[in-house]
Amino acid sequence: MADASIEFKGSSFTLSVLHLKTTTLVDLREDLINKIAQAPEFFYLLPIIVDIERVDSSIDYQAVKLLVEELKFTFVGFTGSVAKEQKKLIRDLGFSFVNSASQSANNSVNNKAKVDTSIKPVAAKPASAIKTQPVEVAPQLALYTDKIHRGQIRSGQQIYAKGQNLVIIGSVSAGAEVIADGNIHVYGSLRGRAIAGAKGHHQAQIYCQNLEAELVSINGNYWLSESMEQHWNSPAYIHLSDTELVSSKLI
């Protein structure tokens, strides 16, 4: 009877991981504030896991948690490959310790929860452009290469450019589906579905020479045909501003 109201299931999510390079709280605070200033919307209530692998064990866990919570992150737990004793200490202090997918493959004994540690790209500005930073929020994703398809994508066909941009020299028919982890370019009419940034790429865009799509989606935000009226039947590109899709005239 007790099971009727709830159900536990495993699921993977993309979570941001905050890698600490120092334990000096003043520095952490300053760099985090600078970082947040670049994209306040994005960071607001963002669930994060704090990676402590690169700092010594003298860290004040409680203070780190309070700091990120004060800056309006949602603190999830700590991670990193550290000694068993340290993990135990963290748990004894009342914090959860999250093994990353690769770690838990090695020692899956006590922690069943698998958390995907792949990271959302954060700001358009490359990480290196920011001044000395003990805090590194997310490494930029490597530049995507292109998967190029010549010819029509017919109804019922599906193409996925895994870890790549997708370039289609031809049209995408109604009932066809094109998916890419990067951007999608259609040098023809887009009449089917286009899903860009499929694995969580906020900057992914969709370009086409004629917009008549059934559905477009970027990083999980989608539009059906009715939302595309503004640039319907004309060259357009679609991108994401914060969490809203926006379409713009292409030429």
Partner 1 sequence: MARIIVVTSGKGGVGKTTSSAAIGIGLALKGHKVVLIDFDIGLRNLDLIMGCERRVVYDFVNVINGEATLNQALIKDKRVSSLSILPASQTRDKDALNKENVGKVLEDLGERFDYIICDSPAGIEAGAMMALYYADEAIVTTNPEVSSVRDSDRILGMLASRSRRAELGLEPIKEHLLLTRYSPKRVAEGEMLSVEDVEDILAIPLLGVIPESQAVLKASNAGEPVILDTESDAGKAYQDVIDRLLGETVEFRFLVAEKKGILSRLFGG
Contacts with partner 1, residue ranges (CB under 8 A): 151-152, 154-157, 170-171, 173-176, 189, 191
How would DSSP label each residue in 127-169?
A: GGGS-S-SEE--PPPPPPEEEEEES-B-TT-EEEETTEEEEEE
C-beta of 139 vs 151, nearer to partner 1: 151
Task: Say if residues 192 and 213 touch (Cβ distance below 8 Å).
Answer: yes
C-beta of 114 vs 191, nearer to partner 1: 191
Amino acid (1-letter code) at residue 2: A
**Considering the complex, what minimum distance in angstroms separates the CB of residue 53 from partner 1?**
47
The number of helices, as runs of H, and strands, as runs of E, in the chain is: 5, 15
CA angle 20, 113, 64 (to 5 degrees): 25
**Considering the complex, what minimum distance in angstroms separates the CB of residue 205 from partner 1?**
25
**Considering the complex, what minimum distance in angstroms separates the CB of residue 179 from partner 1?**
16
Reported as half-sphere exposure (CB side, CA atoms, 13 A), residue 97 has a value of 22
Task: Say if residues 139 and 119 touch (Cβ distance below 8 Å).
Answer: yes
**Considering the complex, what minimum distance in angstroms separates the CB of residue 188 from partner 1?**
8
C-beta of 47 vs 156, nearer to partner 1: 156
**Considering the complex, what minimum distance in angstroms separates the CB of residue 151 from partner 1?**
8
The region, left, alpha or beta by phi > 0 then psi within -120 to 50, assigned to residue 163 is left
Contacts of residue 167, Cβ cutoff 8 Å, sequence gap at least 6: 146, 147, 148, 149, 185, 187
Question: Is residue 175 helix, strand or coil?
Answer: coil
**Considering the complex, what minimum distance in angstroms separates the CB of residue 44 from partner 1?**
44
Distance CA 202, CA 221 (A): 10
C-beta of 40 vs 156, nearer to partner 1: 156
